[in-house]
Amino acid sequence: MGKSTIKRIEDMVFGARAVILLLLAAVTVVAGYYATQLRLSTGFDKVLPLEHEYIKTFQEYRDQIYGSNSVIIVLEPKEGTIWTPEFFKTYRGLTDDIFFLPGVSRSTVTSLWTSNVKFIEITEFGAGGEDVIDSRVDPTALTPEELATIEEHVVRGGFVGRLVANDFKGAMVWANLQDYNPATGESLDYFDLANKLETEIRGKYQNDDYTVRIIGFTKAMGDMAQGARAVFTFFAIAFVLTALALYLYSRSVLLTGATLLASLTSVVWQFGVLKFLGYGIDPLAILVPFLVFAIGVSHGVQQINRVTAAISVGATSEQAARAAFTALLGPGAMALTATLIGFGTLYLVPIGMIQELAIVASIGVGFKMVTNLIMLPLIVSYIPFGEGYARRAAKAREFRLRVMERLGYIANPAISVAVLCVAGVLFVLAFAGSRDLPIGALHAGVPELREDSRYNIDSRAITESYSLGLNILVVAVEAPVDACVDYPTLDYLHKFSWYMENVPGVRHVTSLPSSIASLNVLFNEGNLKWHTIPKAQEALAQELAVMPGVRALMNDDCTLLPAMIFLEDARATTIATAVDAVKTFRNENQKEDVTLRLAAGNMGVQAAVNEVVERSELTMMVLVYAVVIVLVGVAFRDFRAVISCCLPLALATFLGYWFMDAMGIGLTLATLSVMVLAVGIGIDYAIYTHNRIQYHLASARDVTGSVRVTLLETGMATVFTAITLAVGVSTWAFSPLKFQADMGLLLGFMFMTNMIVAITVLPALVVVLNRVFPQKREGHLDKITGRLKGGSTSTRTAATPETKRLAAAALLVEAAQRDDEFTGDERATIIRVIGEKFELSPEDAEALVGVAEQRQRLPYGESVFTHTVAGSFTVEERKEVLHMIWEVALADGRVDFVEDVMIARLAAEIGLDKATFDAIRAAVEAKRQD
């Protein structure tokens, strides 16, 4: 985007600033109305990678395989065992209440009180099944004899470790959930069901006598939603900390308020649009609005930096706002575009929850282009800044410059090489340290919740007391019709079950042949020698006829025989070990007409998610970096810029992986999102920093000087932004949700790491690359320089009389360009002044003017030889240069206010104070009036 184009946009925007702000205010009111209606939302299908092999199996047999979306409620007496009338009375009430919960598949409700739990007994009259608790038993008047019978049925029926705790100190109710509410036909509201489980089940039955434990997807999502609400507290804390830091940086309540208002406005728009489009916000994506706010603050600080720099040299509010708008519109739009596309690549992860996160983030970042690059400067243009503030701003700026001056030593070539050597060592260490980064959860229970959360405490207690649980990996065994009475098929499946029983991390395997073998013992007077599968179809059919719960182990035509593998925990390593064992058995023991298909059950779903995360991580990073490389290459048209921006970013990414490994943070949906988002945030720092370096290089500074000046201009803004945002997100470490705490720690680390590499490694790379691959700058201006001196530009030295003469002349030419209106009067005046003051021929003077005009068409171009004038001219010579600049600027009879502030900045850059600036201007104006 050329300077003249930016100038036209600036005039158009600021010419209608009041109208634009009123329109933006109206949009904010409408968006705010919709934003107040936004609600948390989730769904079981949103976490499914629908195109994955395992999920295709899960979806195909979803209605035929239990265990993928279930809820388990355990009732435990706080003293003694369950064998009391009072316990069974309470247990019956609990069973009945679960039966009537919305979304519960009533035919699957299983407890000792339900009719689908039967005790198989072999008598002289044959095999028979009866309810573990006879339907005639009155739960309010249980007798000791009835209790003894129930206990005998439980023990002999094999329900210990399944529905009754191994130590008899608890009993379970299990139920499968449907995706819709049968009463209304609408999609199941998981948050409402989770609330009912807490209030109508735990709240009703947990007291001084009993403990209630609840696990399952819906309860986990409910606990996550409850914990997610705490993010608003952390957002408030981060907001206050950010506001305080912004005030300390800007020293203005109004400027701080304007920056925060612009950042918050985009969040309001984001929420409003999400509601308007019919989206809710997922617990995983609830942190994204803060990221959008943080990105707004980052760009806002760059605006503050520009505004305070202009105010400190005497600019008005509007002049300062225009200067900031002009300087930051191009690089800001480029940085936000890179961030936007980076966030958008997350949509390629085939998981609904991540795709929604990509939409939420992309919408928010897109709005930043309006609120931060347009709205904020317009608001600033109305803020009154007095002379007292100008002095405070100048003083604060001087302090920041003194602090950052030390960092400028990085521009020394020897120090740059040392910095790159250290960076190289860190890259190697980080790469090696992150090679074994674990995928998925690293602790037992639900990884999104803390280990000491109520849910994970309940999960561990159930796992310790029962052989079964909710960590179920289901293998769908596809076989020919009537495979349930085909001995070779059952024997194959039995061998598979035994193989999986001996896999580390597997607690128990339930399958049709293992149940048949157990039942066969009963059919043979309890003799354990008969723990085998009958070969005769008649014997098999006889046992299937009385087997309890047989419908969970086969479908109607016996073409599906699911093997349910109960795992010890939900750790990624445990899941991966079980999945690998299934694949190994399948590859080494193939049977015609029988297929072992992975995978259903909640652990099958988690296995698919883990594999998608592992595969997507490399793809996402490659795509994000490809986008960054293309954008940086198109913007700067220089391979050195691509290397300088992207290599530090890659170093920060691998350091982030190394940090994850060191902190015990696995690569999950949440942390994958953070790492991708962190690249988008890091490219902001890189583009702003490199843009200023390129600007100074284009202004005829050498690379060392360009880097030093850039660090003085933007270094403190980058440091301040990173520290402020890192402190803000670090408060998330106290979140009740493990994934939020991990995201907070990781984001804080990435904010700081991206900042450090942007102000150290990036400048060092620029210095070294420009020495190894020098930029060609032997253009028309250089040729004129050589001709004026009578020699080649390669032989000139800094601060010779000829160089000083040319520097002043070039500065004079480009000063006239600062209002982007180079009139004929100004051109003629410049040629005349140059010819008179520096004794140049008309041809050379006119050629110099032409070169200056060409330079003004370069992106973000301003002055060329300011540093030469400031460093080698005496005070009187600098005053004379400023006098000539005013003579040229007033040649057309007026001074544009942008031109005024630019000349004021130029005066400050060459070391002249405000009083001298005003005195010289007044003298020139008085001379023109005479």
pLDDT-derived band at 783, boundaries 50, 70, 90: very low
Q: 600 φ, ψ to 5°?
A: -120, -165
394, pLDDT greater than 50:
yes
Q: Residue 610: which residues within 8 A CB-CB, separation 6 or more?
A: 439, 440, 572, 575, 576
pLDDT-derived band at 584, boundaries 50, 70, 90: very high
Please give the Cα distance from 783 to 779 (Å, whole number). 6
Please give the Cα distance from 141 to 507 (Å, whole number). 37
Average pLDDT over residues 258-276: 91
Q: Residue 260: which residues within 8 A CB-CB, separation 6 or more?
A: 239, 242, 243, 246, 297, 300
Average pLDDT over residues 509-534: 82
Is the separation of the CB atoms in 268 and 370 below 8 Å? Answer: no
pLDDT the model gives residue 862: 41
Indicate if the alpha-carbon torsion angle 502, 507, 509, 514 is positive or negative: positive
Q: What is the DSSP string of 168-194?
A: SS-EEEEEEB-SB-TTT-SBP-HHHHH
182, pLDDT greater than 50:
yes
Please give the Cα distance from 72 to 566 (Å, whole number). 14
Three-class secondary structure of residue 544 per DSSP: helix
Please give the Cα distance from 602 to 58 (Å, whole number). 10
CB atoms < 10 A from the CB of 865, how many?
A: 24
Q: Residue 74: which residues within 8 A CB-CB, separation 6 or more?
A: 165, 170, 171, 172, 173, 212, 213, 214, 458, 461, 462, 465
363, pLDDT greater than 80:
yes
Q: Which domains does the chain have, with CATH numbers?
A: 3-37+230-433+638-772 (1.20.1640.10), 69-227 (no CATH), 780-929 (1.10.3680.10)
Give the chain's largest Cα–Cα span.
132
Q: Residue 142: which residues within 8 A CB-CB, separation 6 or more?
A: 85, 88, 89
Average pLDDT over residues 607-635: 85
94, pLDDT greater than 90:
yes
For residue range 707-754, list pLDDT tens digits in order: 887 887 778 888 888 888 888 788 888 888 888 888 888 988 998 999
Q: What is the bridge-based pairing of β-strands 472-478 and 595-600?
A: antiparallel
Q: What is the DSSP string of 27-38?
A: HHHHHHHHHTT-
Three-class secondary structure of residue 80 per DSSP: coil
pLDDT the model gives residue 614: 84
Q: Residue 397: which residues within 8 A CB-CB, separation 6 or more?
A: 308, 309, 312
pLDDT the model gives residue 654: 94
Is the separation of the CB atoms in 77 and 87 below 8 Å? Answer: yes
In degrees, to the nearest 5, what angle opens at C-alpha 661 toward C-alphas 455 and 355? 65
Taking the CA atoms of residue 203, residue 204, residue 209 and residue 212 in that order, the dihedral angle to the nearest 10 degrees is -60
According to DSSP, residue 509 is labeled: E
Average pLDDT over residues 129-143: 86
pLDDT the model gives residue 123: 62
The percent of residues above 90 in pLDDT, for the chain, comes to 25
CA distance readout (Å), 338 to 137, 366, 683, 929:
70, 11, 7, 52
pLDDT the model gives residue 276: 86
Is the separation of the CB atoms in 390 and 314 below 8 Å? Answer: yes
For residue range 423-452, list pLDDT tens digits in order: 999 999 999 888 778 787 777 777 778 888
The tokens describing 279, both together, are 């989206």
Please give the Cα distance from 170 to 783 (Å, whole number). 92
For residue range 656-674, list pLDDT tens digits in order: 999 998 888 888 877 888 8
pLDDT-derived band at 812, boundaries 50, 70, 90: low
Is the separation of the CB atoms in 600 and 562 below 8 Å? Answer: yes
For residue range 832-873, list pLDDT tens digits in order: 666 665 566 666 666 655 555 444 443 333 444 566 566 667
pLDDT the model gives residue 789: 37
Mean pLDDT of the chain: 81
Task: Give the residue, 278 or 271, on which the prediction is more confident.
Answer: 271
The percent of residues above 70 in pLDDT, for the chain, comes to 84
104, pLDDT greater than 60:
yes
For residue range 885-907, list pLDDT tens digits in order: 777 667 656 665 556 666 777 78
Q: Residue 226: which residues within 8 A CB-CB, separation 6 or more?
A: 736
Map tokens 């594999």 to a residue: 611
Please give the Cα distance from 161 to 763 (Å, whole number). 64
Please give the Cα distance from 696 to 408 (Å, whole number). 14
578, pLDDT greater than 90:
yes
Average pLDDT over residues 414-418: 93
pLDDT the model gives residue 199: 92
The tokens describing 787, both together, are 């001709």
pLDDT the model gives residue 838: 58
Q: 507 φ, ψ to 5°?
A: -85, -40
pLDDT the model gives residue 416: 92
Q: Kindly provide the b/e burial profile for residues 502-534, where b requires at least 16 CB atoms within 10 angstroms of the residue's own CB.
A: ebebbbbbbbbbbbbbebbbbbeeeeeeeeebb
697, pLDDT greater than 50:
yes
Beta bridge partners of residue 600, listed in sequence order: 474
CA distance readout (Å), 313 to 477, 661, 699, 791:
78, 49, 21, 39
Closest CA to 619 of 670, 676, 669, 668: 676
CA distance readout (Å), 73 to 111, 561, 928:
10, 27, 92
Q: What is the model's pTM?
A: 0.71
pLDDT the model gives residue 861: 34
Average pLDDT over residues 585-612: 89
pLDDT the model gives residue 657: 92
Average pLDDT over residues 789-813: 48
Q: What is the bridge-based pairing of β-strands 126-131 and 595-600?
A: unpaired
Closest CA to 815 of 727, 749, 878: 878
Please give the Cα distance from 240 to 233 (Å, whole number). 11
